[in-house]
């Protein structure tokens, strides 16, 4: 059992691209942990915004936990990029007839 991403993909010509796809996917997995911790920290310990007045005398406070959500968007982008790279490598292997 291999624990690195795209372990079933083989290539003879695009080894560096496969390495890049795996590296991007691993960085994305690590960034998931960082983004969840950042969002949780911002939610519980982050600074709050000034109270905003709502209707009927109600007030609301907002928390600044946006860095975790921005990091999550970056994680999603990294998974998309690594998936596209892996698909290109897989197509190259299929069309060249390597097994």
Bridge partners, residue 52, by sequence: 60
Query: In which residue are the tokens 């911002």 written?
Result: 42
pLDDT band at 84 (very low <50, low <70, confident <90, very high): very high
Residue 14 has a pLDDT of: 87
Q: What's the chain's length in residues? A: 99
Q: Which residue has the higher pLDDT, 17 or 42?
A: 17
Residues near 9 by Cβ (< 8 Å), separated by ≥ 6?
18, 86, 89, 90, 93
Give rounded-to-5 percent helix, strand, coil for the chain. 65, 5, 30
Are 11 and 98 in contact, with CB atoms under 8 Å apart?
yes
* Domain ranges, ordered by start, for the chain: 15-50+59-96
Query: In which residue are the tokens 């796809």 written?
Result: 21
Residue 70 has a pLDDT of: 75
* CA distances to 55, 56, 91 from 51, in Å: 13, 14, 55
pLDDT above 80: residue 40: no
Share of the chain above pLDDT 90, in %: 21
Q: How many CB atoms lie within 10 A of CB 82?
A: 21
**Least confidently predicted of 22-26, 30-34, 64-68:** 64-68
Mean pLDDT over the full length of the chain: 80
pLDDT above 90: residue 23: yes
pTM for this one?
0.70
């Amino acid at each position: 059992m291999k624990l690195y991403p795209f372990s079933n993909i083989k290539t003879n010509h695009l080894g560096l691209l496969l390495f890049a796809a795996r590296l991007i996917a691993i960085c994305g997995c690590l960034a998931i942990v960082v983004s969840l911790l950042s969002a949780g920290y911002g939610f519980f310990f982050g600074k709050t915004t000034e109270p905003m007045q709502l209707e009927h005398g109600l007030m609301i406070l907002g928390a600044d936990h946006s860095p975790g959500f921005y990091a999550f968007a970056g994680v999603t982008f990294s998974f998309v990029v690594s998936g596209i790279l892996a698909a290109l490598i897989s197509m190259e292997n299929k069309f060249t007839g390597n097994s």
